[in-house]
Chains A and B, each alone.
Chain A
Amino acid sequence: MAVDPQVVVNIASEFTGKKAFTQAETATTKLGKTTKNLGKTLAKTFSVAAVLAFGRAVARAFSDAQKEAALLANSLDSINLAFAAPFIGQFLDKLALATGKAGGDLTNAFIKLSQATGDATTAQKLLQTALDISGATGKDLQSVSVALGKAFQGETTALAKLGIGYTTAELQGVKFDELLKLLNSRFGGAAAKAADTYAGKLARIGQAADLAKEKIGEGFVDGLEESGVSVEEFQEAIINLGTNIGRALGKITAFAGKIGEEFDKLKDNPVINLLLKISETVGALKGLKALGGLFNSGPADDPAKIRSAARLRREIYRQEQENLKKNLTLTKALTKEKKDQLALDKAALALGKGEDIFDLDKIQVQAALLAKQDEINKLGVNATDQQKLQLANDITRLSIKKTMAELEDAIAAKDVEAATRLAKKLNLDLAILGALQNQEFKLADINKILETFKPKKLIDIDNLDEALLLLAKMAGLKININPNLALNPNVPITPITPITPITPKIPATNVTGQVATLTNLRAATSTGTGINFLLKEHIDTLTDAISNNALNALGDEQARLRAMGIFDTAGIGAGFDVAGFRRGEERGNTYNVNINAGVIGNEDGVALVVQRAILDLERKGDPLRYTGGL
């Protein structure tokens, strides 16, 4: 039954998203794009707007440069090198001019590398290598920097994925210093060559223009501040300008059909285009003048500046060393942790593979089959190949199950060594199982597999002599009373003669015969009858009597009596006089025996009493012996 949302108490609700929100978001994005396109169209169409766009561009360039500088400072601050930010900024600007790469790209790349290495100098070196690789392979600088940063931390997969001609295995096999040498030998100078091409030179000029824009923007903001016009006032002026332009556009749109054509003509007019280009070039040149200050920041032989720079270099070196130490410790810990995790992950992966194959019901069925096919388990000559194959398959499955259980325990206990070993075993078993299921194994291989699963042989009749010899050998080695034996290992070891079993006085064969007779008699009686029960008791008594324990106990008794000279031999020393021994024990004691004869009557009376007693006994039984006698 449907629930009316008006008549329901919702308990513990969760917000899971709303379709309308997504639609609104998409619509906003579309509107943004449309607006942007409209802006572009208008900027192209109206030259006044193009001039304004240039103004905005320089301001944005300056703003972006400020953001990049702040980002760089923050990044360097995280590795305690914030004080070096201005110098690194200059380095990146020069690098941008030299290579034609965008300053923002270089800054981002440098930030990634400095975060990975924790060392500005190494980051600078790696940035150069990254530029070379980027120039040679055409990959973007950001991806190359990230990959190099990861390689520095020991993860070379990303670097290999760049397609630089080395596999992950090759890169993992070398240390980072060697890897850097390899990369430099292969890609070194690629960035310089790229910069020397026509496109590279154009990019460098473009970069200079960008820097100029930044400087123009900086100058523009400074100039605005110096002029005494507040930013708010300037904003208001711009908004007013926008309003006026909007009005003008509204009027123009009304005549768009005709006026549009006129603007298109104006746009194609070479004179107007030339004027626009001149205005942009002048702006760029002004920016370049401001840029000149970057390279001529003061005389190089100023002693104060030299000392300051030296101090700074020392400070940078000291900080970098500290960072290096920290990174080393961290890297070691991370490597160990990663290694352990990798091993556990591999084990878990193997376990996952095993779970796909394992089928509890199937294994149970196969285990039942295994029990029934006990004779096949011995792989007698009568077993067919198909039976052997099936058997090997089943046993391997069981082994997989066992290993999986052990592996689960090892993973739970975080025992890396055991997990690794068991994972290997599991993989091996799985491979065998896979091969068996494909029936690609030869019979000899199947026999080999089955042999590995056979239980270890214990001592039985076949190997009893061999086992006794081995035991004797072990005993001889451990309890060696013959010094020559120990000194001369060539002397053969004489096996210990086994103890002769004590022969009982009563031949067991007689008793065995008795048991056989009684058993035959019992077989002739009905089960549950008294005689049947009595015969069983006798048989049990006799059987117990000829048991090994009973015979051994009897032998012990006889040995003791024999030693005392009271059995069948004279004994050791003088004979033992039991009666004399008892008398001696009781010597000095006086024993008085009193016999109370009571009243003696006539013989008939006594006979009558005895007769009555017998009759009562027959009628009523003996109440003293049987509870509830009849």
Chain B
Amino acid sequence: MPTELRGAIEARKALRKFTPDLSKELQKEMAALLKPIVTVARGFIPATVLSGWSKAEASNTNYRQFPRFDAAAAKRGIGYRTAPSKVNRNGFRALARIANVSAAGAIYETAGRLNPQGKAQGPVVDRYVNGVYDKTTASGKQYSNSLNPNAGKQFIDALNGTGQIVDANNQTGAGRRSRKMKGRAIYKAWAEDGGKTNAAVIKAIEKTKIIFNNNFKSVA
């Protein structure tokens, strides 16, 4: 769960408007803090996971294929942002982020987070085709669409063989923990960091705010 700050977005705007140098300095400082986490997270991406996953995608298809795993692209996809994000559906904006943006990298990061044993196949349902009722397996995003009923489990087992899912949510106290802070690369790196970077980033923002306020007071 990200730490909530108050007035930080406004402070960033004010910094950019009145003291662009200080704003850039803050971004540099935040980047310097986030870079080691990114480096560590990239280190958790294996060279290969499953040999078939790294094969070239078929050409001339009219649907989006399952993305090919390319270790270099997955590593490149891990990065950081120091610009404030858009408002998410819960009304929050993040001041800094570490993201895993490549499709294959995101799959490696999160596969098995929701269903550790893989998605089950859909139930057998009746299907009416050409005036005849037939039996078929229900399909959809919530089901495994493979003919192999163990496909999901085998895939996740293979991923677990290269790296286990780690929960980076270190919150204590009452309430349900979200599963959304679990993963194999960036979340693992974040968990290993143990909140030090988080505290350092917030401290950097607060420090800059204080410097800005002091400068502004001295001018006024």
Contact = CB atoms under 8 A, between A and B. Distances in A.
Interface string A81-105: 0000000000000000000000000
Contact of B198 (A7, A12, A14, A16): A12
A8 to B, nearest CB: 4
B99 A7 contact: yes
Determine the interface band of chain A, counting residues with CB < 8 A from chain B: 20 to 34
A568 interface: no
Contacts of A6: 106, 110, 180
B93 A16 contact: yes
Contacts of B166: none
B190 A5 contact: no
Nearest to B190: A9
A4 interface: yes
A456 interface: no
Interface in A1-41: 1-19, 21
Interface stretch (B47-55, B84-92, B156-164): B84-92
A12 B205 contact: yes
Interface in B1-28: 2-9
A9 B186 contact: yes
A10 B94 contact: yes
Contacts of B165: none
B201 interface: yes
A13 B92 contact: yes
Contacts of A7: 99-101, 105-106, 109-110, 183, 186
B151 interface: no
Determine the interface band of chain B, counting residues with CB < 8 A from chain A: 35 or more
A412 interface: yes
Nearest to B30: A11
Contact of A11 (B9, B94, B181, B218): B94
B114 to A, nearest CB: 10
B106 A11 contact: no
B93 A11 contact: no
Contacts of A19: 91
A11 B101 contact: no
A11 B97 CA distance: 6
Interface string B177-216: 0001101001100100000011001100100000000000
Interface of B: 2-9, 34, 77, 81, 85, 87-101, 105-106, 109-110, 168, 180-181, 183, 186-187, 190, 197-198, 201-202, 205, 218-219
8 contacts: A7-B100, A9-B99, A11-B94, A13-B95, A14-B5, A14-B9, A18-B87, A412-B219
Given A4-B101, A7-B100, 18 more contacts: A1-B77, A5-B88, A6-B106, A7-B105, A8-B99, A9-B2, A9-B168, A10-B2, A11-B2, A11-B34, A11-B96, A11-B98, A12-B198, A14-B5, A14-B7, A16-B9, A16-B93, A19-B91
Report the 4 A-B pairs with minimum CB-CB distance, sorted nearest first. Answer: A18-B91, A10-B94, A13-B2, A10-B2
